[in-house]
Every structure is written in C-alpha cells, then in structure tokens.
Chains A and B, each alone.
Chain A
Amino acid sequence: MSSIFHLVQNENMKIYRRIGTWVMMGLVVAAVLVAAIFTNMNASDETTNWRTDAESAIQQSEETLKNSEGMPKTFKDSQERSIAVNEYRLDNDIPPLESDSIWSFMDSSTGVVSLISIFTIIIGAGVIASEYSWGTIKLLLIRPASRTKILASKFIATLLFALFSLVILYISSFIIGGLFLGFNAVAQPYLTYSGGEVSETSMAVHYIVEYALASVNLLMMVTFAFMLSSIFRSSSLAIGLAIFLMFTGSQLTFILSQYDWVKYILFANTDLSVYFDGSPLIESMTLGFSLITLLVYFIVFLFLSWLLFTKRDVAA
C-alpha cells in the first residue's frame, strides 16, 4: 500500500540527514582538489612538437608490425589502432591531450571512483544493518509495506547515493580541473577506433562512459556488501569484508590467472575496460561472457539479500 516512491524518499532522508554522508561528499571533492593541485605543480612548460612525435610513433608501430610474426592478435590490433589514430590526428590537425589538460585530469580522477565505492559500501551496508542496531527495524517493518518493497527502496537509495556521488565527482573534476589547468582543451574530440575506422566523439560523453565502466566494480561490491548486511545484520562486518575483497580480489585473481576457472570469479570480470583497450586476464574471455557472469553474481547477491531480509524473524 505504501508507494515505493515514498519509501525511497524515506531512505534518502535517513541518508542525507546525517552529517557523515556530507563528510563523504566533501572528501570526494577534496580528493579532486588535491589531485588538481599536484597535477598543476608537476605540469611541464616545455612544448613538444606533437606532429613529429606522432610521425615517429607511426614509424615505430610499422616497424614493430613487420617483425610481429607469432605475436598475439590483440597486440597487432593495438599497433594498428595506434597507427590509424595518429594518422587521423596528422590529417585533421587534432593534437593529442596534454598531460596537464582538463581531460587528462578527468581521466586520472576516475581513480576517485574507488573512494566512492568505499563510501557507497558504507552506505549500502548501513541502510539495512543500522535499522537493526538502532532497533528501528521493529517500527519500520510493521507498516503496510511489504519487506520486499522496503528492501528495494533501500537498494535504490544506495544506488542513488552512488549516482549522486559520481555526478559530484564528474562536475567537480571538470570545474576544478578547468580552474587549475584551463578550459582551452574542452572542445577537443575523443578519437575512437573500430573496424579500421577512426571517428570523433565528444570528450564529455567519453568520460561519462569511462566513469560508468569504472563503476561496474562499485556496483558489484556495493551489492555484495548489501547482501552481507542482510545476512549478518551487522554493518561493520559487511563493510570490512566488502572493502577487503575489493582491494584484494583483483590481486587474488591475478595470482590465480594460470587456471582457467578463474574467469568465473567475480573480480576477473569487474574491469570491463580491458575489452575496449587492453587484453582480458584469460584469453577465452569476452565482453559478453563477463557481462553474463556479472549479471549472474548480481542476481545471486540480490536474491540472497531478499531471502534473508524477508523470510527471517526479527527477534532481539
């Protein structure tokens, strides 16, 4: 009987009426600020001639390709891509991004997404477990709203927090980056290469995609923490375990990468950017495989959260 909209509104109130939440937002902006100050300090004033650089890069790649018998296909692809993009730059007079341009800064600030992951894990684990530790769960659940709806509203509110933080990161990176490094590179296009063709897209859109890719790991770890919180009804346990796995998971899969079954581990699939520029951990892995694996994990996490939240007694 209660609408999901109102329930999400309630969850939002409980998230944003706490000072801790705004401290997190402040830390995100502070991280961007610190990064900008460092980039600004290290910026070199020497201007190199990008044209000669591009030409020599093309030559080098062509040399490499000549002697590339037996090299993996992905390697050859990346060389061809480099040649195509550099030629396009020379033909259309599009210089590459300088290391101290606003867009390069946007690129490095995707690193702050892991900070947002940690914060969202804290929020996601808290939205369930805190109700138990506060004792408010007893008043929350005795309303004409099914437990499923209440759980859904909590998950949605957690994702909204992540989205809100990412938007803050994107906007503050752009503004702070621009203020420290100048806005003159703003209009530069981003060059993409696919099927032998180079095409131009907007940098702004490109970085939105970058942020989205960087957030796959966030989404999975937050859903994982959400599940742990529902299972253990303890936010510290959920937060601790999720953050620990977030930092050790990728190393772990890397160490085990000689085994083929590693590809079924969650962390082997969370970095989707390898399918766009780079090579996957295990050669047989494809974007489709990773997406399906992620989806299976996601559904299992949510299902277990739901099962333990809706079917168990609230006693204590």
Chain B
Amino acid sequence: MAVKPIVQIRDLTKVIGKKTIIDQLSFDVYPGEVFGFLGPNGAGKTTTIRMMVGLMRMTEGEVLIDGSSIKTDYENAIVKVGAIVENPEMYKFLTGYQNLVHYARMVNGVSKERIQEVIQLVGLKGRIHEKVKGYSLGMRQRLGLAQALLHRPKLLILDEPTNGLDPAGIREIRQYLRTLAREENVAIVVSSHLLSEIELMCDRIGIIQSGKMVDVQRVNEFVKNDQAVMVSFEVDPLEHAVHAVKANFPDCDIEQSDRKVTLKIEHELIPEVTAVLVEKGIRVYGIQSSVKTLEDVFLEVTGGEQVV
C-alpha cells in the first residue's frame, strides 16, 4: 500500500512479573481506516492500548505514531493521538465545559471556537455547562469523545466505546466514527470483546487472543477467504443421501436432522453435491446455504472460547 500508516506497532511485548501479557504484537493502522481490535475479556486489548499511549512501558517492541516513537519522542507522538482508555472518567465536580477547557489548555492551539465546534459535534450543547456528576453514561461517552477530538488528532483510540451503551447509542457512535474516518481521514482504533458491536463500523479487524494477534483481516474477507460454508439439503430419503455424500465427499462434516442433511463444504462444491444427489435418484426439495457470520469465524479463530 502506498499510503503511509499512522500507527506502526512492531513486536510489542509486555511482561509483568513472569507473565507475558502481550506477546510480539505487530500491526499497522492507516489514515481513514477504522480498525477493530477484537478479543475476549483479558486478551490484552487494554494493556496494548495503554502501551500505545504511554501509560505503560513496553517491555519490548516499538510503537510509532505518524513516524514518532512513543518511547523516545513521546510529546510529538502523543499530540497526534486522542484516546479514551476504558471508561471515560472525567472530573465530576467540574462542568462538561470546564473539563474540555482543562484538556484544551494542555495542547497548543485549541481555540474557544474549536471547543464549541467539538461540543456541537458530539451533541452536548444543551448540557455542557452542567456538572459532569449529573451526566448519564452516554453523555460521559460523548464528553470523552469530545476531549479526545479537541486537538484534531490523526489517530483516535477508543477502548470498548460501546460498553454500557444501548443499541441506539452504539449505532450513533458507529455512524459518527465512520463519518470521522471518511471525512477527516482520521485513523480509528476501536477495541471490543463483542464482534457484533463493531463488525459494522470496522474496515479491518485484528483478533487478539491471550496477548497474541491471531488474525488481521479486512471485514469482507473474513467470509470470502474462509472456504467452508454450512449447506443444508432437504432430501428424501435421508439415509441414502447421507450415504451418497459420505461416499463422494469423505472429508466433510455431516450432520443430519429430521429431513435435512447439513454439510460443511466449500461454496464451490454446492453444485457438485447437488449433482451427486440427483444422480442417485434422491429427491432434493431445497438447498440452504448459511453463510458463516463473522461471529462464527471469531469463535473459530479464538478456539470457540466463551466470548461474552
């Protein structure tokens, strides 16, 4: 790819005590892209993000933000980053506006107009002069987003931003992040332990499991590349059909239910299976191909472990 990545992570490793929590993680994130960082609880998403923003030291490896090293050139690197790490914790005794002023003062060149612009953007205009104490979780998420965007970062990192939000809130965040990536060319890293909540907002997803990056793929490739598809044939008689399939396709898994035989086969093989069945004089009443969801792939990649 000709486009220069905004984030370059190389062999990122974190050892605490004797435990390797993050193990040689490497990936890139490009401008204008929404990158999903997916993994079950305890996989190491937050730890990775903490190292990316310098809250934790890396044991080994390197994180470059727009070419600047988080390790050796922290201020130049971090000024390009906006982030929420875990919950958006704000100063509760200050108003939303005072919270934003606080963070605006920490970077050069954030004007009053910019603060207003961001408030407008996240839709907090009506309540911004109230104390954060009285904010709902959704409002605090918005305020968190506002502080992360104040200084027009090139990279936005959100750790489980959908946590505790209702479906409407999730949809809103999704639309908002897509717009931001598309129109402002911001690179966005979103972590989550729930695939269903981020699959629609991400261009690429990296799956992390026990501190290792198991797989990084474009979202639409997840399905395409994975050859196996679950296909159900409604047939009669069932026993003959099972027998015929076993004889001709010895490698594939077969399940049978009352009137259906379900196979895990490549998409390309569906016509062939059908031909065999017809040839043997078996009546085929219907063929259903259930395309595997990302969830299935995710479960498969992470070894079918409990995700939620």
Contact = CB atoms under 8 A, between A and B. Distances in A.
Given A13-B98, A18-B93, A313-B57, A1 B79 contact: yes
Contacts of A143: 78-79, 103, 106-107
A287 B98 CA distance: 46
A134 B108 CA distance: 25
B90 interface: yes
A182 interface: no
A285 to B, nearest CB: 44
A20 to B, nearest CB: 9
Contact of B75 (A13, A14, A139, A144): A144
B186 interface: no
Contacts of A18: 93
A244 to B, nearest CB: 28
A171 B168 CA distance: 57
Interface residues of B, number: 33
A135 B87 contact: yes
Nearest to B57: A313
A145 B103 CA distance: 11
Nearest to B93: A18
Interface residues of A, number: 24
Contacts, number: 82
Nearest to A14: B91
A17 B55 CA distance: 27
A284 interface: no
A1 B91 contact: no
B83 interface: yes
B213 interface: no
A155 B89 CA distance: 23
A235 B74 CA distance: 29
A136 B98 contact: no
Interface string A1-42: 110001101100110011000000000000000000000000
Interface in B66-123: 74-76, 78-79, 81, 83-87, 89-94, 98, 101-103, 105-108
B232 interface: no
Given A146-B74, A314-B50, A1 B107 contact: yes
Given A139-B103, A143-B103, A144-B107, A17 B56 contact: no
A175 interface: no
B91 A9 contact: no
B75 A314 contact: no
B85 A142 contact: yes
Q: Identify whether the interface residues of A are mostly helix, strand, loop, or mixed.
A: loop
Nearest to A130: B91
Given A10-B106, A144-B78, A17 B98 contact: yes
Nearest to A135: B89
Contacts of B147: 139
Given A1-B79, A313-B55, A144 B93 contact: no
B43 interface: no
Interface in B212-242: none
A10 B107 CA distance: 12
Nearest to B159: A138
A255 interface: no
A315 interface: yes
A313 B58 CA distance: 10
Given A134-B89, A142-B85, A6 B105 contact: yes
Interface in A99-140: 134-136, 138-139
A315 B75 contact: no
B108 A1 contact: yes
Contact of A2 (B76, B86, B105): B105
B81 A142 contact: yes
A9 B56 contact: no
A14 B92 CA distance: 10
A236 B74 CA distance: 32
Nearest to A137: B55
Given A1-B107, A6-B105, A13-B98, A142 B55 contact: yes
Q: State the 6 A-B residue pairs at the shortest beta-carbon distance, nearest first.
A: A135-B89, A143-B106, A6-B105, A144-B75, A314-B55, A144-B79
Given A7-B105, A142-B53, A143-B103, 14 more contacts: A2-B107, A9-B105, A13-B94, A14-B94, A14-B102, A135-B89, A136-B90, A138-B89, A139-B85, A141-B54, A142-B81, A143-B78, A144-B74, A145-B106
Interface of B: 47, 50, 53-57, 74-76, 78-79, 81, 83-87, 89-94, 98, 101-103, 105-108, 147
10 contacts: A9-B105, A17-B93, A135-B86, A139-B90, A141-B55, A142-B53, A143-B103, A144-B75, A145-B75, A313-B50
Interface of A: 1-2, 6-7, 9-10, 13-14, 17-18, 134-136, 138-139, 141-146, 313-315
